[in-house]
């Protein structure tokens, strides 16, 4: 049997502007987030973040976002390290579009620091843990 290009060629995956091919590698239902950081959504954002007595580090993320998965462990580690002094919260932008829209989230991951109900700082993109740690320490 002769080999043809059709048999040898690998199938190509279709991509879209919303979800590039590298984001489709893991089916959504197989992603399990075991966060040390708390979670918030459109309904709980005010009580969890804005009314907090301590500074709050908010990680805006989505399950299909590769860079979000890179910084997720950093946020969890900071939650443990600053336990009681800083609250770390994750907000899934797919499930909480109102908060994301209200704060102008155009790229993820986006990390914001809130204190006294006010947004103090914004970091866009995957950054090293030390950058996040230094940012949090400024507001203690």
Q: Is the peptide bond before 78 cis (omega within 30 degrees of 0)?
A: no
CA 102 distance to own-chain centroid: 16
23 is catalytic: no
- Of 48, 68, 105, 108, the catalytic one is 68
User: Among positive and negative, which fits the CA dihedral 79, 57, 93, 69?
Assistant: negative
- Of 37, 65, 91, 132, the catalytic one is 65
Token code pair at residue 100: 């994301």
Q: Is the peptide bond before 111 cis (omega within 30 degrees of 0)?
A: no
Q: Are 66 and 14 in contact (CB under 8 A)?
A: no
Catalytic residues: 65, 68
């Amino acid at each position: 049997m002769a080999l043809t290009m059709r048999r040898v060629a690998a199938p190509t995956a279709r991509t879209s502007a919303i979800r590039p091919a590298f984001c489709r590698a893991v089916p959504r239902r197989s992603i399990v987030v075991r966060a040390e950081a708390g979670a918030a959504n459109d309904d709980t954002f005010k009580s969890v973040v804005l009314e907090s007595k301590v500074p709050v580090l908010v990680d805006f993320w989505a399950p299909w976002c590769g860079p979000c998965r890179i910084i997720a462990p950093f946020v969890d580690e900071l939650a443990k390290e600053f336990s009681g002094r800083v609250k770390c919260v994750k907000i899934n932008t797919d499930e909480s579009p109102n908060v994301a829209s209200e704060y102008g989230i155009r790229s993820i991951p986006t990390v914001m620091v809130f204190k006294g109900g006010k947004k103090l700082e914004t970091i866009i993109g995957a950054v090293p843990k030390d950058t996040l740690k230094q940012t949090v320490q400024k507001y203690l």
